Amino acid sequence: MAVSAKIDLIEDLTAQEHLGVVTALTRRALVIGLTDMDVGIIASALAYLDTQGYTYGSTPEDYPNLKLSNRDPAVHPRDNTKAYVTLSYVHFSQYEGQLIIGGDEGLTSRTAYYEHRSTLERLRTNKSKYTYITGEETPANEGDDILSVTYTYPAASKESPGQAGKTVTQAAEIDVDMDRGEIRLVGLIRQDWPEKFVKLMRGRVNYTSWFEGGPRTWKIVDVGYFPFDIDSTPITYKFELLFRHRPEGWDPTAVFVDPVTGRPPKDVNEGVNYGVAMKTVEFDRPAEFNDLLKYVGPEA
């Protein structure tokens, strides 16, 4: 008797819907015609379903948002030529099993599972506008982006007699709330030496715009992994990448400080001082995230 399967046994077909979208689906298949007499019957049942397209990550007809994440087989209690297999589908945003790297081939066009969070963080800056901080706007005149304060000493200043009658302008700093975003990616890699993957990713910043962020504003701040399938070749590891977004960028800035006042001069970034007394250092190594992680989401 040839192996075959009956899919969607009605009494075991269930689904979950949230806000009009089906987010989970459970199906049950009955595989018949199996000939193994031991635990091999489990492998045979799953192998047959593979040939019929019921593989991990597959999408059921009419439900493009779902991916097959679990297959739970059980031998029929009264007939060892049959096996029930429960097929569990989850929303693609919860699917962690997409293989995104194989050996040294690099990442494919789809990644697996991701979460995004956004919060605020206190930042001290000498920039006078948000758009100057992020680089979205260039000041019309050199130095207009630097926040400054001006004070005129009284004609007879007892506290600072040497400054009497003088007007002094200094660069100033303020504490502001800047938005911070985080993306956590979870997926699988096949790699004999996963540290190669870690070294490829850890500490990199995006070379070109990525996820609505300009160049060098996203950084991979954490990489973790653990063995997932030691029977595969190469070994399969589950990994997690944590990306952090800073609209002002990750490049540090060095600023000249007046040794007398302890503050940067007002014209620290003007005239002959432009690009000399204030320097931004591109310290972190860039990577083309659009090549490494081209697409996050359901299969196109």
Nearest 5°: phi and psi at 190? Answer: -115, 115
Domain identity same for 298 and 173: yes
Angstrom distance (rounded) from CA 117 to CA 14: 31
What pLDDT sits at residue 105? 41
Same domain as 210, residue 67: no
Residue 130 phi, psi (nearest 5):
-60, -45
Domain boundary among 94, 109, 131: 94
Q: Whole domain around residue 35: which residue ranges?
A: 4-94
Do 127 and 264 lie in a common domain? yes
Claim to verify: residue 67 and residue 118 sit in the same structural domain: no
Angle, alpha carbons 250-256-262 (nearest 5°): 115
Which pLDDT belongs to residue 298? Answer: 37
Specify whether the CB–CB gap between 247 and 213 falls below 8 A.
Answer: yes
79 and 104: one domain? Answer: no
Interstrand relation of 21-32 and 83-91 (parallel, antiparallel or unpaired): antiparallel
Of 94, 113, 146, which closes a domain? Answer: 94
Q: Which of 47, 69, 94 is the last residue of a domain?
A: 94
Cα separations in angstroms, 109 against 105, 192, 228: 12, 22, 22
Which pLDDT score, from 0 to 100, does residue 27 have? Answer: 93
161 in the same domain as 268: yes
51 with 30, same domain? yes
Query: Letter for the amino acid at 120?
Result: L
**β-bridge mates for residue 113, sequence order:** 186
* Same domain flag for 169 and 238: yes
Mean pLDDT for back-to-back runs of 10 residues, the chain (300 residues): 80 86 92 86 92 90 90 90 93 69 40 73 84 80 80 76 79 86 83 81 90 91 88 83 92 86 78 80 87 46
Domains identified in the chain, total number: 2
Same domain, 125 and 269: yes
> 83 with 122, same domain?
no
Do 215 and 80 share a structural domain? no
Residues 76, 73: Cα–Cα separation, whole Å: 10
Both 234 and 136 in a single domain?
Answer: yes
